[in-house]
Amino acid sequence: MKIFDIHTHIYPDKIAERAVDALGKFYDFVPEGKGTYADMTGNDAKSGVNGFLLLCVATNAHQIRRANEAVADAVKRGSADGFEAYGFGGMHPCENMEEEIGFCLDAGLSGIKIHPDIQGVDIDDPRLYPLYDAANGRFPIYFHIGDDRPQYRFSTPEKLSKIMKEFPRLVAVAAHLGGYMASDEALQYLCGCDRLWFDTSSALWAMTPERADEIISRLGVSHMMFGTDYPVKLPETELPRFYRLRLTEKEREDVLYNNAKTFLS
């Protein structure tokens, strides 16, 4: 059975340890991976992962080009190493947003990733509307969704629902089963939109298999994709959690691989 990891992050080797440590402190957990290309692909090979989507997070406007260049280079390296490798660029509100979007697409990246909580920007901030307008019917946007801490309510499912209504051709992914630590809100606001996709990353470890089964069923198995959120989790720990879900063999194949390939096509 083929496996595609739809949600991964890596960092340059010289800063990976610091970046992973900062990520763990931000969320108050201990990431399992080292955050490097070699560590990720080594773990992928060991667990039988055939491909991955690398997601870039630009924490400020000055970092956008350099971060996106790094992702584009890593995608080329992954393809050369025999993986089905894809990448999404990162974006932050900036004056030359259209230029940076053009760079991402010209570099072979397949979409844009937004992490509102780490970036400190609401997803319905008007400064991001030029990005949504450019993406509308053109390329997908990947959203981190649903931190429940009061100081990090930048990415609520309700706000994403608003964006999807305002941009009627926008295709998007709501990561973490549509709401990291906010699954009730995900079910309230995100069901029934066929332009929305979802992933299992950074969610299965935080709930019972029965609760995950309910959320996946209501959001839609046909638009659900397997993800580890590497370096947060490794395939060897996330795959056993996934296999505990009450999916049919066909549904399991779709979530592990087929849905991601459909989405990326």
**pLDDT (0 to 100) of residue 63:** 87
Q: How far apart are CA 5 and CA 139, in angstroms?
A: 19
Helix (H, G, I), strand (E, B) or coil at 177: coil
CA triplet 33, 51, 204: central angle to 5 degrees?
55
Residue 219 pLDDT: 97
For residue 202, give the nearest of 231, 182, 225, 232 by alpha carbon. Answer: 232
pLDDT value of residue 150 = 79
Consecutive sets of 10 residues in the chain, 265 residues long: mean pLDDT of each? 97 94 91 98 98 92 92 98 98 90 96 91 94 95 88 91 97 95 94 97 95 97 98 98 98 98 96
User: How many Å from the N-terminal Cα to the C-terminal Cα in the chain?
Assistant: 20
Torsion of the alpha carbons at 202, 205, 209 and 212, rounded to the nearest 10 = -20
| Domains of the chain (ranges, CATH numbers) | 4-264 (3.20.20.140)
- CB-based burial of residue 130 (10 Å sphere; 0-12 exposed, 13-18 middle, 19+ buried)? middle
Return the structure tokens found at 18.
């610091």
Tokens of residue 205, six digits: 């470890």
Contact between residue 55 and residue 7 where contact means Cβ atoms under 8 Å apart: yes
Instruction: Determine the pLDDT at residue 78.
Output: 98
Contact assessment for residue 18 and residue 1, using Cβ atoms and an 8 Å cutoff: no
